[in-house]
Amino acid sequence: MKILQIGVEKSGNYWLYNNLDKTAKAAGLPWRRYARSHPIYPLHQTWPDLSFPDQPDIDFLNITPDKVFYYIPLIFFWPIEDLDDFAAKTTHAWTHSNWFGPTSAAVFERFDKVVYIIRDPRDVLLSFCHFQFMPFVQRYSMVDLSEDPISYLDKAWLLRTQYWITHVSQHLAQRERFNIHFVCYERLRYDFQSEYRRLLDYLEISLSDAQIDQIADDVSVRTMKAASPAHVRSGKSGGWSESLSDTMKADITDMAEPLLELLGYPLDDAPRDWSDPSSLPRVPDQIDNEALAEITEEALEVPIDYAISQTVEQARWFANIPAIRGGGVLGREVDKLVASLEAFAELTRAESDLEEGVE
């Protein structure tokens, strides 16, 4: 059996990976990894500050509109010219990539099972921002982040929320075509036995109660945090209600409301009884794909002033790469570009203020 797992970054992907990996091993299924056939594998095993101990053995895929890459996050990309060859060398791959039509379809078609994990976007955002300050990202990222996670939220929230909406919506729209099984992080966290047995049914795997109990212990937050402290934090749900500002909560909820409501996520920060299965999110049996298309389209509408400010931030990010920051002709040209964008952004803000004054 070949399994492809998908999810927005920091949605519990590593947790899902461990669930699937330990399930396959308990069932006695074949275990193969493309990564072990790649020349970079021995070197990868020696690198310090990896995100988790078994990172070298994970077949990460980066899918773009035109190509598919085997990649090591933040570090290495290698084009996959022959998808059949890749598929023959793996039994379990993992991607964070969005849906890119024929390119994504060509990947999905080579796997027997496709599992997608969904998590509350506000918890995803909070976890993503904290992760930027973990040793792995700090060592291998090209940018020196001098802020703290909460300050970083102000820059990241809109684009990350937009990304979550489009990512989830577009994969929900492909559910029937590729028989995708959706796992809700919160259900797996707080109603493990029920959600895990649903996963086993989808995988067509039968395990004993003792095997299931052992896997539940092996993938518990306590066990995984001890094994991978640089990647696993608290694993709790609803932390966003304490960490995000009231304005940010309202803005994110307003932007993602149609999808939050569809999946059964709360629209306010009232205390949640996670022990009650009826209060946990769930993917509906029937979903209108036209409604999903509308949700995606609305999410892509970004205010012009924000789009410009994000362009400025991206230019500053580019200018901060050490090779460019070192000076030279390229460095000077990038500095000029940043200055021009900042001036344009300031002009746009002034025009916007003037228009509001006239109104």
Residues 200 and 333 in one domain: no
Q: What percent of the chain has pLDDT over 70?
A: 79
Q: CA 286, CA 37: separation in Å to the nearest integer?
A: 41
Residues 318 and 175 in one domain: no
- Give how far the C-alpha of residue 311 lies from the chain's centroid of Cα atoms, to the nearest Å: 22
DSSP helix, strand, coil percent of the chain (3-state; round to 5): 55, 10, 35
pLDDT at residue 325, as a whole number: 55
Q: How confident is the model at residue 241 (pLDDT cuts 50, 70, 90)?
A: confident
Identify the weakest region by mean pLDDT among 25-29, 213-217, 230-234, 271-275: 230-234
Q: CA 136, CA 147: separation in Å to the nearest integer?
A: 16
Residue that wins the pLDDT comparison between 221 and 23:
23
Chain-wide mean pLDDT for the chain? Answer: 85
The three-state secondary structure class of 184 is strand
Which stretches does DSSP call E strand in the chain?
3-6, 59-63, 68-72, 76-79, 92-95, 113-118, 180-184
DSSP 317-343: HHHTSHHHHT-HHHHHHHHHHHHHHHH
Residue that wins the pLDDT comparison between 289 and 209:
209
pLDDT at residue 280, as a whole number: 94
Q: CA 41, CA 35: separation in Å to the nearest integer?
A: 6
Residues 131 and 18 in one domain: yes
pLDDT at residue 78, as a whole number: 96
Q: What is the mean pLDDT of residues 273-299?
A: 88
Residue that wins the pLDDT comparison between 352 and 226:
226
Q: What is the mean pLDDT of residues 329-338?
A: 65
Question: How do residues 112-131 score in pLDDT, each as one tens digit?
Answer: 999 999 999 999 998 888 88
Residues 158 and 275 in one domain: yes
236: pLDDT strictly greater than 60: yes
Q: Are 282 and 187 in contact (CB under 8 A)?
A: yes
Residues 114 and 10 in one domain: yes
pLDDT at residue 132, as a whole number: 80
24: pLDDT strictly greater than 70: yes
Q: CB neighbours (10 Å) of residue 257?
A: 13
- Of 299, 323, 339, the one marking the end of a domain is 299
Q: What is the mean pLDDT of residues 208-234?
A: 78
Q: How confident is the model at residue 136 (pLDDT cuts 50, 70, 90)?
A: confident
Q: What is the mean pLDDT of residues 313-332?
A: 58
Residues 310 and 218 in one domain: no
Q: How confident is the model at residue 226 (pLDDT cuts 50, 70, 90)?
A: low
287: pLDDT strictly greater than 60: yes
Residues 33 and 125 in one domain: yes
- Give how far the C-alpha of residue 2 lies from the chain's centroid of Cα atoms, to the nearest Å: 21
Residues 96 and 236 in one domain: yes
pTM equals 0.84
Residues 333 and 220 in one domain: no
Residues 334 and 256 in one domain: no
Question: How do residues 66-119 score in pLDDT, each as one tens digit?
Answer: 999 999 998 899 999 999 999 999 999 999 999 999 999 999 999 999 999 999
Q: What is the mean pLDDT of residues 25-38?
A: 97
Residue that wins the pLDDT comparison between 21 and 295:
21
Nearest to 179 by CA among 117, 93, 112: 112
List beta partners, residue 184.
118
Q: CA 205, CA 194: separation in Å to the nearest integer?
A: 15
pLDDT at residue 199, as a whole number: 97
Identify the weakest region by mean pLDDT among 51-55, 325-329, 342-346: 325-329
Residues 74 and 183 in one domain: yes
Q: What domain count does the chain have?
A: 2
353: pLDDT strictly greater than 90: no
**Hunting for tokens 């006239």 — which residue is that?**
358
Domain that holds residue 243: 3-299
pLDDT at residue 1, as a whole number: 95
92-95/59-63 β-pairing:
parallel
Residues 280 and 310 in one domain: no
- Of 299, 330, 350, the one marking the end of a domain is 299
Provide the token pair at 183: 């796992």
Q: What φ, ψ does residue 305 adopt, rounded to 5°? A: -65, -35
Provide the token pair at 237: 């749900």
Q: Kindly compute the dihedral angle of the four CA atoms of residues 346, 351, 357, 358, in this order, to the nearest 10 degrees.
A: 170
